[in-house]
Amino acid sequence: MSTARSSLTRTIASHAILIAYTLLALFPVFVIVVNAFKARRDIFNDPLALPNPESFSLVGFETVTSQGNFLLYFQNSLIVTIASLFCVLLFGAMAAFALSEYRFKFNPLMGLYLALGIMIPIRLGTVAILQMMVATGLVNTHTALILVYTAQGLPLAIFILSEFMRTVSDDLKNAGRIDGLSEYKIFFTLVLPLVRPAMATVAVFTMIPIWNDLWFPLILAPAESTKTVTLGAQVFIGQFVTNWNAVLAALTLAIIPVLVLYLIFSRQLIRGITSGAVK
Amino acid sequence: MNALELNGIKKTFGSTDVLHGIDLTVEDGEFVIFVGPSGCGKSTLLRIIAGLEDASSGTVKIAGQPVNTTPPAKRGIAMVFQSYALYPHLTVKGNMSLAMKQEGAAKSEIEDRVGVASKMLGLDPLLERRPAELSGGQRQRVAIGRAVVRKPKLFLFDEPLSNLDAALRVNTRLEIARLHRELSATMVYVTHDQVEAMTLADKIVVMNAGRIEQIGSPMDLYNRPANMFVAGFIGSPQMNFLDAAALGETSAKTIGVRPEHVSVSPTSGDLSCDVVHIEQLGADTNLYLRNEKVGLLTARLFGEHYFAPDSRVFVSFDRTKQHRFDAEGKAIV
């Protein structure tokens, strides 16, 4: 009886903490979404109020759709995010497979070298990266961003995936070798499906910073044709006047695609985070 | 022709020597079992035969052909693993036919061979299921079926029964023995369980610390162990090793007596002992005894017997069945 009650209080306490944290984390998002649907005056009068028939206004969305090239910006963001995500997952998984599967000289050193990027922020190299991009003529292209984001995402991807790949049964891979599967086929058909939860985890952790990044689009691809959504939203923030309706509407729209991608991965993600912790 | 020939196989990992020069021939149709304690190199040797691991030196010949540089799939072998290693994304049928598909065999031939193998192992009702929907015993049967389908020159088994419970282990053991008779195939089998080795093998290879201690038929090893390691490893309960001097023998350093060759009497015998512990198993009884001079010894009596712990008994040895070992642990013939 006493254990049942104590576990109940513990459940309530842990849920209270989690709910509080959820509210805290969602509050800024809530403010953005709510105010995106209000007229300018109402945003400043009472920022926390829900839109009502009087304050409701879609002027922000109208500005966004009519003024900026937002469809293009969205497209740019999606291209860059998805292409980078694809490269990070593919190359990350391949490198992780090599590190966990094959014995070769300098294997541990190589693993350490590839994981080093987790500790060193890639932005420290911005100047050098910009010089390289200028030299290769990649400034204002999607390729520039995709390359940088792939480099940025790889260390964590390799680190997480190689740990997971070590848990895949050796017997299974060997059975594949005896049955005549190539190393590529073993990798793609036997190993990858078994580390899918880890892949989803890596996908989410990689995707969100890329989608939200303002730094590299601003420096490497500020041209109209390659602008990303976060950069595009900046046109409404002026030195003297800021079109808050438009900024908030743009940000609200920017949440949608990343939310969709997250929902796709989230089922797998939960399995990935809890596997090992929960048998 | 020899199905398998190993010449001077050595293997080193970094600075540790795992195998120190293994020579072995396996004849066509033979059932050979590598047995030894964990870490003795038996699995490594099997993996070298399979081609999953490269030998540091030495040659491997399968059916007369050197295969040192041949990839596993082209060696004409099939392997059954301890953890079954079924492909989780394929059905039983898919699992069994994958290797032949990779070789590019005709569809009708694949169907035929899968049909024969599944009938042989009673897998027909399971063909469309996935490994996740099978029990442990069924999975291991599928894994064996997957090997049978390939019609290999050499079957390799890597502790195939270790993950099964006791009852299933006996059944699967019988199944493997039947398979060996029906296919008259050459099989190489690795286990740490001497019961499996004794019951299945034509020829047992006892390994210890990367070396072959003795090769022989099960009864050879039981009756004529070449050294104390083999004598102790084969037979359960373990052979008693007694100090020869304590028994008044001068021709040897150690005397080995199997527990089943020790007779116990409450009234008279060669040595007087105290009963330390008794295990009654129904069909036989194990007695653990202590003598002041020779220390602990085990006796195995057939049928039901009872001696109270701490009571005094007398033991005598069957002189014709005792083994003598010299100071280096080698048998004196």
Strand order through the sheet with B312-317: B262-265, B312-317, B271-280, B284-291, B295-302
* Closest in A177, A180, A189 to B52, CB measured: A177
How many residues in chain A? 279
On whether both A32 and A68 belong to a single domain, the answer is no
Interface test with A, best of B46, B67, B79 (most A CBs within 10 A): B79
Report how far residue B226's alpha carbon sits from residue B131's, in angstroms, rounded to the nearest whole number.
44
Final residue in a domain of this structure, among B231, B257, B286: B231
Final residue in a domain of this structure, among B166, B200, B231: B231
In the predicted model, is pLDDT for residue A276 greater than 60?
Answer: no
Q: How far is the CA of B250 from the CAs of B92, B243, B244, B261, in angstroms?
A: 63, 10, 7, 21
On whether both A64 and A21 belong to a single domain, the answer is no
In the predicted model, is pLDDT for residue A200 greater than 50?
Answer: yes
On whether both A4 and A129 belong to a single domain, the answer is no
On whether both A31 and A67 belong to a single domain, the answer is no
Query: For residue A244, how many other CB atoms are within 10 A of its CB?
Result: 18
| Contact (Cβ atoms closer than 8 angstroms) between residue B150 and residue B185 | no
Residue A190 to chain B, least CA–CA distance (Å):
7
Interstrand relation of B77-80 and B312-317 (parallel, antiparallel or unpaired): unpaired
Residue B333 counted as domain residue = no
Residue B158 counted as domain residue = yes
Residue B87 counted as domain residue = yes
Query: What 3-state class would DSSP assign to B237?
Result: coil
Side chain identity, residue A50: L
Final residue in a domain of this structure, among A36, A57, A78: A57
On whether both B186 and B252 belong to a single domain, the answer is no
On whether both A1 and A115 belong to a single domain, the answer is no
Residue A187 to chain B, least CA–CA distance (Å):
13
Final residue in a domain of this structure, among A57, A78, A100: A57
- Number of structural domains (chain B) is 2
So what's the pLDDT on residue A278? 38
- Cβ-Cβ contacts under 8 Å, A193 against chain B: 88-89
On whether both A71 and A170 belong to a single domain, the answer is yes
Instruction: For residue A230, name the pLDDT band (cuts at 50, 70, 90).
Output: confident
So what's the pLDDT on residue B80? 94
On whether both A67 and A50 belong to a single domain, the answer is no
On whether both A71 and A32 belong to a single domain, the answer is no
pLDDT in tens, A68-101: 688 888 899 999 999 999 999 999 999 999 999 9
- Which stretch of A2-11, A54-63, A183-192 has the lowest confidence by average pLDDT? A2-11
Residue A52 to chain B, least CA–CA distance (Å):
53
On whether both B117 and B251 belong to a single domain, the answer is no
Q: What is the pLDDT along chain B (333 residues), one digit of tens a residue?
A: 789 999 999 999 888 999 999 999 999 999 999 999 998 999 999 999 999 999 999 999 999 999 999 999 999 999 999 998 999 889 999 999 999 999 999 999 999 999 999 999 999 999 999 998 898 889 999 999 999 999 999 999 999 998 888 888 999 999 999 999 999 899 999 999 999 999 999 999 999 999 999 999 999 999 999 999 999 999 889 999 998 888 888 888 999 999 999 999 988 888 899 999 999 999 999 999 999 888 899 999 999 999 999 999 999 988 888 899 999 989 988
pLDDT in tens, A24-44: 999 998 998 888 888 888 888
On whether both B173 and B45 belong to a single domain, the answer is yes
Residue B249 counted as domain residue = yes
Q: Do B87 and A175 count as a contact with CB atoms less than 8 A apart?
A: yes
Residue A156 counted as domain residue = yes
Q: Do B52 and A180 count as a contact with CB atoms less than 8 A apart?
A: no
Q: Do B85 and A193 count as a contact with CB atoms less than 8 A apart?
A: no
A208 touches chain B (CB under 8 A): no
Final residue in a domain of this structure, among B214, B231, B248: B231
Residue A279 counted as domain residue = no
pLDDT in tens, A107-164: 999 989 988 888 888 999 999 999 999 999 999 999 999 999 999 999 999 999 999 9
Buried/exposed code over B283-294 (b: 16+ C-beta within 10 A; e: otherwise): eebbbbbebeeb
Cα B38 from chain centroid? 12
CATH of the domain at B288: 2.40.50.140
Q: Do B88 and A194 count as a contact with CB atoms less than 8 A apart?
A: yes
Query: What 3-state class would DSSP assign to A80?
Result: helix
Domain containing B307: what range? 238-325
Report how far residue A157's alpha carbon sits from residue A198's, in angstroms, rounded to the nearest whole number.
9
pTM of the predicted structure, to 2 decimals:
0.81
* Closest in A178, A189, A193 to B72, CB measured: A178
On whether both A93 and A117 belong to a single domain, the answer is yes
- Cβ-Cβ contacts under 8 Å, B83 against chain A: 169, 171-172
A180 touches chain B (CB under 8 A): yes
Backbone phi and psi for residue A261, each to the nearest 5 degrees, phi listed first: -60, -40
Higher pLDDT, A202 or B333: A202
Q: Do A172 and B82 count as a contact with CB atoms less than 8 A apart?
A: no
Q: Do A171 and B73 count as a contact with CB atoms less than 8 A apart?
A: no
- Cβ-Cβ contacts under 8 Å, A180 against chain B: 73-74, 99, 102-103
CATH of the domain at B132: 3.40.50.300
For chain B, helix (H) and strand (E) counts, in that order, are: 8, 18
Report how far residue B54's alpha carbon sits from residue B48's, in angstroms, rounded to the nearest whole number.
6
On whether both B83 and B219 belong to a single domain, the answer is yes
On whether both B114 and B175 belong to a single domain, the answer is yes
On whether both B258 and B162 belong to a single domain, the answer is no
CATH of the domain at A234: 1.10.3720.10
- Cβ-Cβ contacts under 8 Å, A179 against chain B: 73, 98-99, 102, 146
Domain containing A104: what range? 60-274
So what's the pLDDT on residue A275? 52
Q: How far is the CA of A38 from the CAs of A47, A232, A237, A241, A247, in angstroms?
A: 9, 21, 18, 18, 12
So what's the pLDDT on residue A238? 77
Residue A266 to chain B, least CA–CA distance (Å):
22
- Number of structural domains (chain A) is 2
On whether both A256 and A188 belong to a single domain, the answer is yes
Interface test with B, best of A177, A178, A186, A192 (most B CBs within 10 A): A178
Cα B83 from chain centroid? 17
Compute chain A's Rg from CA coordinates. 23
On whether both B153 and B66 belong to a single domain, the answer is yes
So what's the pLDDT on residue A270? 66
On whether both B226 and B309 belong to a single domain, the answer is no
On whether both A98 and A156 belong to a single domain, the answer is yes
* Closest in B52, B82, B103 to A180, CB measured: B103
Q: A274 exposed, middle or buried (CB, 10 Å; 0-12, 13-18, 19+)?
A: exposed
Residue B151 counted as domain residue = yes
* Closest in A172, A180, A189 to B99, CB measured: A180
Backbone phi and psi for residue A233, each to the nearest 5 degrees, phi listed first: -65, -20
| Contact (Cβ atoms closer than 8 angstroms) between residue A89 and residue A199 | yes
So what's the pLDDT on residue A269? 67
Residue A96 to chain B, least CA–CA distance (Å):
20
Higher pLDDT, A174 or A238: A174
On whether both B218 and B147 belong to a single domain, the answer is yes
Residue B332 counted as domain residue = no
On whether both B218 and B136 belong to a single domain, the answer is yes
- Cβ-Cβ contacts under 8 Å, A169 against chain B: 83, 85
On whether both A117 and A243 belong to a single domain, the answer is yes
